[in-house]
Amino acid sequence: MKVLVIGGGAREHALCRSLSLDPAVTALHCAPGNAGIADVAELHQVDALDGKAVAALAAELGAGLVIVGPEAPLVAGVADAVREAGIPCFGPSKEAARLEGSKAFAKDVMAGAGVPTARSYVCTTPEEVDEALDAFGAPYVVKDDGLAAGKGVVVTDDVEQAREHALACGRVVIEEFLDGPEVSLFAVTDGRTVVPLRPAQDFKRALDGDEGPNTGGMGAYSPLPWADPKLVDEVQETVLQPTVDELSRRGTPFSGLLYAGLAITSRGVRVIEFNARFGDPETQVVLARLRTPLAGLLLAAANGTLADLPPLRWSDDAAVTVVIASHNYPGTPRTGDPIEGLADVASQDAPDAYVLHAGTKHDGDDSGTVVSAGGRVLSVTATGADLAQARERAYAAVARIRLDGSQHRTDIAEKAADEA
Ligand code: AMP
Ligand code: GLY
């Protein structure tokens, strides 16, 4: 099977790495990709938001499966265009991707499906905003209704800051604050059958100890030794299946990756948000543990035949990923800095540690130098018998990488490893 992956971050590198290890994959293409993905896939240039262009590229390559990684092309309807061209596509339709594209839509689906989530108001006027902020009290949670690349949510004790964010966004969802640890649980679905993957935890804040601004994610680990072993079954029953059933009932079935961002509160599991695609950096650790070949799983979702698949197989290993980010991330990042040490990791830690690329590219000349090209630059991933070993290996690999001005958290999975 020839496979085309759309996107170019560490998530797509993780997907491409797994696909490259799947014997069913005879050719692997990625657009636009990055300097690391270039080692496992042939790269192409395409406007990822242009469905017709993506479908044309897939047809030209003879792709038997297209996987759309990021949310923006999904919300723009790229998966629809690929399917209309008769090519199987992993990723929800434009209509179903509204589950991520509009927080208000997601709340409406959850209400229809009886899925537990924070109580909320959708507000468009300053009066509505004030009323909602008053009703819930501090800490205030204010969310831009639309896609905001992880920057649309403000959680604050400062009512003025909450009000300012709400007025700057226009249409917002204001909701009850959820206490308790967060868990990301992904499920592969064909619109009927729902196959949950293993839970992971993401570190959203820039600095150690969960300090500093929100980011796209600074690291992740899986499994979660502290979580209730029944968590996955419970979320399958109370969140994932009802949501998929509700979207099917509405005539907009969701096929692809359903990402449930959950809070394990003192009053039970609540959905913080849904995403319509694999999460980054959680994908890096979840796929590190998946033993079932990836292409067959995603193709079954695209073709509506997930019910026929045998249960997924998982490694008992733990996995940890640590993100190396550019100077000044999550503000405007500095780019163009050379990255050194990539070959050291490949030679000294393999196969237990490896570097997945996010914002990287080859320098313009022929030197083979890889330079930073985005906020999150690398996602250094390692597996081990337990979290402590995976952590040790990941940080040993991080220490071999040199990127001027770069930053990373030093406490990814630390608490979970200590408690395990
Ligand atoms: P989101 O973009 O919806 O993932 O939100 C980003 C982050 O804001 C989440 O990972 C949480 O840490 C936090 N957050 C969102 N909604 C809530 C809530 N209702 N209560 C507490 N924290 C929240
Ligand atoms: N890990 C957060 C996200 O992918 O949205």
* Ligand of minimum distance to the alpha carbon of 261: 1
pLDDT in tens, 179-202: 999 999 999 999 999 999 999 999
| pLDDT surpasses 90 at 214 | no
- Res 347: pLDDT: 76
pLDDT in tens, 3-29: 999 999 999 999 999 999 999 999 999
Rounded Cα distance, 102 and 351, in Å: 40
202 lines ligand 2 (CB under 6 A): yes
Best probe residue, ligand 2, of 12, 183, 202, 376 (max atoms within 8 Å of C-beta): 202
Range of lowest pLDDT (39-43, 196-200, 351-355, 395-399): 351-355
Looking at CATH, the fold of the domain delimited by 318-419 is given as Glycinamide Ribonucleotide Synthetase; Chain A, domain 4 (3.90.600)
Average pLDDT over residues 235-261: 98
| pLDDT surpasses 90 at 112 | yes
**Which residue is associated with the tokens 């694999």?**
278
Average pLDDT over residues 194-219: 95
* Ligand of minimum distance to the alpha carbon of 174: 1
117 lines ligand 2 (CB under 6 A): no
* Ligand of minimum distance to the alpha carbon of 214: 1
* Ligand of minimum distance to the alpha carbon of 182: 1
* Range 119-175 classified under CATH 3.30.1330.60: no
| 400 and 382 Cβ atoms separated by less than 8 Å | no
- Res 151: pLDDT: 62
Best probe residue, ligand 2, of 12, 280, 379 (max atoms within 8 Å of C-beta): 280
- CATH class of the 179-308 domain in this structure: alpha beta
Q: Give the domain ranges of the chain.
A: 2-90, 119-175, 179-308, 318-419
Q: Closest Cα to atom 2, ligand 1: which residue?
A: 150
- 179: Cα separation from own chain's centroid: 22
- Res 156: pLDDT: 93
Q: What share of the chain has pLDDT > 90, as a percent?
A: 90
**DSSP element (H, E) containing 82:** helix 78-84
Residue 259 — very low, low, confident or very high, per pLDDT cuts 50/70/90?
A: very high
Average pLDDT along the chain: 95
- Res 351: pLDDT: 66
Pocket of ligand 1 (CB under 6 A): 118, 141, 143, 150, 153, 155, 175, 177-178, 182, 204, 261, 272-273
End-to-end CA distance of the chain: 41
| pLDDT surpasses 60 at 349 | no
Rounded Cα distance, 16 and 393, in Å: 22
31-49 as b/e: b if 16+ CB within 10 A: bbbbbbbbebbeebebebe
- CATH class of the 2-90 domain in this structure: alpha beta
Largest Cα span, the chain: 61
Rounded Cα distance, 380 and 322, in Å: 5
Beta-carbon contacts of 403 under 8 Å, excluding residues fewer than 6 positions away, are 324, 326, 337, 338, 339, 340, 372, 377, 378
Please, how many CA atoms are within 13 Å of residue 357, restricted to the half-sphere of its CB?
Answer: 25
Q: What one-letter code names the amino acid at 13?
A: H
pLDDT in tens, 282-317: 999 999 999 999 999 999 999 999 999 999 999 999
* Ligand of minimum distance to the alpha carbon of 14: 2
Q: Closest Cα to atom 4, ligand 2: which residue?
A: 279
- Res 184: pLDDT: 98
**DSSP element (H, E) containing 388:** helix 387-400
Average pLDDT over residues 390-410: 96
Q: How far is the CA of 141 from the centre of ligand 1 (A)?
A: 7
The pTM is what? 0.94
**Which numbered atom of ligand 1 lies nearest the CA of 118?**
19
**Which numbered atom of ligand 1 lies nearest the CA of 261?**
4
- Res 373: pLDDT: 96
- Asked if the domains at 119-175 and 318-419 fall in one CATH topology, the answer is no
Q: Closest Cα to atom 5, ligand 2: which residue?
A: 279
Residue 125 — very low, low, confident or very high, per pLDDT cuts 50/70/90?
A: very high
**Cα 95 to Cα 55, 74, 253, 276, 410, distances in angstroms:** 18, 9, 9, 11, 40
pLDDT in tens, 59-78: 999 999 999 999 999 999 99
Q: How far is the CA of 307 from the centre of ligand 1 (A)?
A: 33
Q: How far is the CA of 261 from the centre of ligand 2 (A)?
A: 8
| pLDDT surpasses 80 at 160 | yes
